[in-house]
Amino acid sequence: MRNRELAEIFERIADLLQIRGDAIYRVLAYRKAGESIRGLSRSVVGIWEEKDLENIPGVGKAIATKIDELLSTGKLIFYEKLIEEVPENLPDLLRIADVGPKKVALFWKELGVTSIDDLEKAAKAGKLQELPGVGPRSEQKILEGIRSSKKGRPERLSIGSVNPIAQSFIRRLMKIPGVVHAEAAGSLRRWRETIGDLDIVVAAEDKKRVMDEFLKFSEVERIKGQGETKASVELLDGLRVQVWVHPPERFGSALQYATGSQGHNVRLREYALSQGLSLSEHGFKGKNGNEILCASEEEVYATLGLPWIAPEMREDLGEITAGIEDTLPKLISEKDIKGEIHMHSDWSDGRVSMEDMANAALERGLEYIVFTDHSRSLGIASGLSLERLRDQRKKINRLRKKFAGELDIFQGSEVEILADGSLDYPDEVLEALDFVIISLHSSLRQDREKITSRLLAAIENEHVNMVAHLSGRLIGKREPADLDFEAIFQAAVENNVILEINSNPERLDLKDTHARRAVELGVKLAITTDAHHPEHLDLRIYGIGTARRAWVTSEDVLNAWPIRKFLDFLEKQKSSKITH
């Protein structure tokens, strides 16, 4: 059984338990286990064989026992009994806008609805509005949600497509008179790679004015709901947006609440209760009913004696314990990055000249860059022949003189790993380059053993400095290669090879869970943009977000180091590989 299949079982159990009405702690335990298994860098079967299941984040004794049963017998009695009680396909209804676990349970118990088709028939027949708490308006919204889902819109969108919309809305909301703050919340603020709904929290005294102005935005196709503090809409492109408006003195608690994650918030509220406080989006309340208002998130955490916890870490993966123990890492930030070591020019498939790319890097405050145009076999990307590679070196030497004292420029190459694990340039050519990146663009569907062996053979080459976009995935478009990540991470440590977090929001590869595991094992990372145009250099924010989700510090990232330290590492890397 593969990780994804096992994760899906536990995620479905979580949904079924929530529909059944089980305690939120139990639901979250199964959901967290599913997410952890999905994000593992190695096969859960190997961990099971080593009898080490309880070391998987979010997997305690009870769930470890269930994993053992699944892997030993191929079935899980607990799950089979659960779907005898709660229809197995009910979680599919949760994909419909305005349909949560309580409504799913209501429709099932009162009307026998067990599928989206059943729900649509019941809504068209006017049966939903007869149920308590539903009504004609809610019934119509559910029908609209079903129609929207049938348009084929993905349940979750790339962060790269949602973030620009969020920033545009925030700029416009900030222009409304009386608005003091406006900030994205939810999974966008936690920098998850995909986004379901967009949440924005606004600080303003006149809540109604803000919501009324927001509802006039031209992108709004339909209004899903409007309450005292929140307006919900669906945009023309299908994205669901919620704007929360709170007075400035309550902005901190509202932002903290809307940011999530659910697991983090449950844990934080539990910790507040242990101190005699209850915490909600409106602020704290003591046992005597007195309120503690928080205008900033820092005040929320400080009230509990905690340091501010970065949004990217709020996934209930030990961050609150680390806050209590004062062991939270100092996460990397965009300003820490000193160089770009994976970028392309019009010598291969880039869109502008090397000089234009160099100027763009200089404008963004970078201290050094490496041109890594594609190697010869990647014809689709106009890979460089040996002769063109030599000509490029001459051009780079001229650019070095032009930018001397302002920007250090190096010649590298993104070298294709061929089907047999050999590299696209001979060793003597690789040796002459300043920086060698290896990557996979072809035969990504090879079986695990074969494709892993290809990568391991390439990593062992003494001239290799870094592996780019390791899994080859394109989020929502192409599945990652079936790799033994653990073996690759070990090989990267042994050969002192860097692994890349590719900042292109369609890649974000390494993903956050893999990056965290790699760093735990001692792998050094790079956060690059893989830029093919000057504007692509601005995509680094997405790679930084992924790295922060992985608890990465600047010491873990090669191109966050000043030029002298960067070059010293390359020298040591070469020496250690020759010795190895």
Q: Which CATH number fits domain 251-324: 3.30.210.10, 3.40.190.100, 3.20.20.370, 3.40.50.970?
A: 3.30.210.10
Each residue's pLDDT, cut to its tens digit, for the chain (580 residues) gives: 788 889 999 999 999 999 999 998 899 899 989 988 888 877 898 899 999 999 888 899 999 999 999 999 999 999 999 999 999 999 999 988 778 899 999 999 999 999 999 999 999 999 998 999 888 888 888 998 888 777 666 678 999 999 999 999 999 999 999 999 999 999 999 999 999 999 999 999 999 999 999 999 999 988 888 888 999 998 888 889 999 999 999 999 999 999 999 999 999 999 999 999 999 999 999 988 899 999 999 999 999 999 999 999 999 999 999 999 999 999 999 999 999 999 999 999 999 999 999 999 999 999 999 999 999 988 777 899 999 999 999 999 999 999 999 999 999 999 999 988 899 999 999 999 999 999 998 888 899 999 999 999 999 999 999 999 999 999 988 889 999 999 999 999 999 999 999 999 999 999 999 999 999 999 999 999 999 999 999 999 999 999 999 999 999 999 999 999 999 999 988 877 655 5
For residues 375 and 10, give the distance between their C-alpha atoms in angstroms, rounded to a whole number: 43
Compute CA distances 518 → 4, 15, 134, 362, whole Å: 20, 31, 49, 31
Any idea where the domains of the chain sit in the sequence?
A: 3-150, 157-246, 251-324, 337-579
Q: Which CATH number fits domain 157-246: 2.130.10.10, 3.30.1300.30, 3.40.50.10800, 3.30.460.10?
A: 3.30.460.10
Which residue, among 442, 476, 454, 459, has the nearest Cα to 518 in the 3D structure?
Answer: 459
* Domain at 337-579: CATH architecture: Alpha-Beta Barrel (3.20)
Q: Note whether 191 and 545 are within 8 A (CB).
A: yes
* Rounded (5°) CA angle 199-203-209: 90
Complete edge-to-edge strand list for the sheet that includes strand 277-280: 277-280, 283-286, 291-292
Q: Give the DSSP H or E segment for 547.
A: helix 540-549
Instruction: Indicate the Cα dihedral angle 503, 507, 512, 513, nearest 10°.
Output: -160
Which residue, among 365, 369, 456, has the nearest Cα to 412 in the 3D structure?
Answer: 369
For residues 42 and 547, give the distance between their C-alpha atoms in angstroms, rounded to a whole number: 19
Neighbours of 132 (CB within 10 A): 7
**3-state SS class at 187:** helix
3-150 and 157-246, same CATH topology:
no
3-150 carries CATH number 2.30.110.10: no
**397 backbone dihedrals φ, ψ, rounded to 5°:** -60, -35
